[in-house]
């Protein structure tokens, strides 16, 4: 049998858990001892201590493990940091070397620079400029410039006047061009008119009409009353002959038949009117005419007395005679 004090002492020797079998044996023994009713309060205490001790051991083991894990992970990041620092150091070293070289170059340049020669050159240049300035003939230069300016002024004035005259010429040409265009248009129109006239001339000539003093004339080959005679002339683009000159009167007398002309007083007795609506002014009545013979309404006029200068006679319109058409050209 082991007492409580002995047991406590014994348990303290297992603090480091280096002898596990011995601890197990002790534990076995203590369990066997729990079965002894006389030692129950001491045993409880003993159990409590053992459990606490066990918990402590577990805690320590956990701490150990986490510590190791931390230590294992740290070296990696430290290595990386060290490598980064190494690189930065190398960069700085290279930069420093460059700067040193540049400084040495500048030093050499400065040592080789010939300060005196440079200064002399500048002095010479200054003196040259001074001499040039002293020799410069300000008045002559000014006169030259004035002359050049006046020349340019004259040239400019010439240009302006030339431009003005050119503008005027252009405007004149424009006007001439417009006139020419208008003239050309007129000529074109005239040309068309002449063409039409020519065609008309050709037409009447081909139809056997006779040209005299600006008109074509045609004597009928049949006889008709005055109104039908007139209608025939109109259908040919003409009308009965109108006589308003001695020449025309003489021309009309060459036809030896009695022929109707375009004069009548059908609308108002005694008021003789030509077929174009004009009143009779120059007349060639045969002597005694117009007589409205026997009050038979002699309202239409014919050429009856060819052997007399004055050849006209009034006769009833229904009478049938030859007739003469006139086409004024």
Judged by phi (left if over 0) then psi (alpha if -120 to 50, else beta), residue 213 lies in left
What distance in Å separates the CA atoms of residue 94 and residue 87, rounded to the nearest whole number?
11
Cβ of residue 258: shortest distance to ligand MAN, in angstroms?
Answer: 10
Cβ of residue 228: shortest distance to Ca ion, in angstroms?
Answer: 20
Cβ of residue 244: shortest distance to Ca ion, in angstroms?
Answer: 21
Contact 233, 295 (CB under 8 A): no
Per CB under 6 A, 259 contacts ligand MAN:
no
By beta-carbon proximity to ligand MAN, the closer residue of 108 and 296 is 296
Neighbouring residues of 305: CB distance < 8 A, sequence distance ≥ 6 = 286, 311, 313
The region of 81-89, 141-149, 235-243, 306-314 touching Ca ion under the rule CB under 5 A is 306-314
Cβ of residue 315: shortest distance to Ca ion, in angstroms?
Answer: 6
Q: Which of 220, 293, 306, 310 binds ligand MAN (CB under 6 A)?
A: 293
β-pairing, 322-328 vs 259-264, is parallel
By beta-carbon proximity to Ca ion, the closer residue of 248 and 314 is 314
What distance in Å separates the CA atoms of residue 71 and residue 200, rounded to the nearest whole number?
133
DSSP, residue by residue, 35-61: T-GGGHHHHHHHHHHHHHHHHHHHHHH
What distance in Å separates the CA atoms of residue 232 and residue 221, rounded to the nearest whole number?
12
Tokens of 94: 């290279």
By beta-carbon proximity to Ca ion, the closer residue of 73 and 291 is 291
What distance in Å separates the CA atoms of residue 213 and residue 250, rounded to the nearest whole number?
12
Per CB under 6 A, 326 contacts ligand MAN:
no
Contact 266, 260 (CB under 8 A): no
Cβ of residue 323: shortest distance to ligand MAN, in angstroms?
Answer: 17
Per CB under 5 A, 314 contacts Ca ion:
yes
Q: Which of 88, 291, 309, 318 binds Ca ion (CB under 5 A)?
A: 291
SS3 call for 304 = coil
Per CB under 5 A, 302 contacts Ca ion:
no
Cβ of residue 283: shortest distance to ligand MAN, in angstroms?
Answer: 15
The region of 140-148, 223-231, 232-240, 309-317 touching Ca ion under the rule CB under 5 A is 309-317
By beta-carbon proximity to Ca ion, the closer residue of 255 and 293 is 293
Q: How far is CA 290 from CA 10, 223, 295, in A?
A: 193, 22, 11
Q: Which of 200, 239, 293, 297 binds Ca ion (CB under 5 A)?
A: 293
List interacting residues with ligand MAN (CB under 6 A): 289, 291, 293, 298, 313, 315
List interacting residues with Ca ion (CB under 5 A): 291, 293, 298, 313-314
């Amino acid at each position: 049998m082991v007492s409580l004090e002995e047991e406590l002492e014994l348990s303290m020797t297992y603090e480091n858990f280096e002898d596990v079998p011995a601890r197990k044996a002790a534990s076995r023994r203590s369990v066997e001892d729990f079965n002894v009713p006389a030692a129950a309060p001491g045993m409880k205490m003993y159990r409590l201590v053992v459990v606490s001790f066990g918990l402590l051991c577990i805690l320590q083991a956990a701490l150990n493990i986490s510590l190791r894990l931390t230590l294992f992970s740290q070296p990696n990041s430290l290595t990386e940091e060290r490598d980064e620092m190494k690189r930065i150091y190398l960069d700085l070293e290279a930069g420093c070397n460059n700067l040193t070289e540049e400084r040495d170059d500048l030093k050499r340049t400065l040592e080789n620079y010939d300060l005196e020669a440079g200064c002399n050159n500048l002095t010479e240049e200054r003196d040259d400029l001074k001499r040039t300035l002293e020799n410069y003939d300000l008045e002559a230069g000014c006169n030259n410039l004035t002359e050049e300016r006046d020349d340019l002024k004259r040239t400019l004035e010439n240009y302006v006047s030339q431009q003005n005259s050119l503008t005027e010429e252009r405007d004149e040409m424009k006007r001439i061009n417009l006139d020419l265009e208008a003239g050309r248009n007129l000529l074109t129109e005239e040309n068309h008119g002449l063409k039409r006239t020519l065609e008309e001339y050709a037409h009447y000539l081909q139809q056997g009409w006779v040209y005299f003093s600006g008109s074509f004339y045609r004597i009928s080959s049949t006889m008709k009353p005055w109104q039908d005679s007139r209608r025939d002339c109109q259908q040919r683009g003409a009308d009965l002959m109108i006589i308003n000159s001695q020449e025309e009167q003489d021309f009309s007398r060459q036809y030896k038949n009695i022929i109707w002309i375009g004069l009548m007083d059908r609308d108002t007795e005694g008021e003789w009117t030509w077929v174009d609506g004009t009143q009779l002014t120059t007349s060639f009545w045969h002597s005694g005419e117009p007589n409205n013979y026997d009050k038979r309404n002699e309202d239409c006029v014919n050429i009856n007395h060819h052997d007399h200068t004055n050849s006209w006679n009034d006769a009833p319109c229904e009478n049938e005679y030859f007739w003469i058409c006139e086409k004024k050209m």
